[in-house]
Amino acid sequence: SFEALARHNVDLVRASGAELLVVPCAECARTWRLDYAPWLEDGGPTVLHLTEFIKENLDRLERVYKSLANPDA
C-alpha cells in the first residue's frame, strides 16, 4: 500500500541520518513534501529538487568544478 511504502521510505531516510534529501524529479519532491508529510510531522530532512540544490549551491559548485578542471591553477 502507499502508506506502507511511505513509512518504509521515511524510515530508511531517517535511519541514514540525512538532513538533506536531493531528489531528481518534480514528482519525488512533491511526494516527499506533501504526501509523506503525515509521517514527517516530527521532523525530517529538508527536501530539495536537484535544480533547487544547484541554484542554492551554484557558487560553491563552480569553484569545485574549476578546481577539478584546472588543478594547477
Cβ–Cβ < 8 Å for 23, 48: yes
pLDDT score of 11: 95
CA 7 – CA 10 distance, rounded (Å)? 5
pLDDT digits (tens, 9 = 90+) for 33-53: 999 999 998 889 999 999 999
Q: Return the pLDDT at 59.
A: 87
- pTM of the complete model: 0.77
Residue 32: other Cβ atoms inside 10 A: 23
C-beta separation of 47 from 24 below 8 A: no
- Per DSSP, helices labelled H in the chain are 2-16, 26-30, 50-69
49-67 pLDDT, tens digit each: 999 999 999 988 888 888 8
Q: 73 pLDDT exceeds 70?
A: no
Query: Which residue carries 584546472 as its cell?
Result: 70
pLDDT for position 70: 80
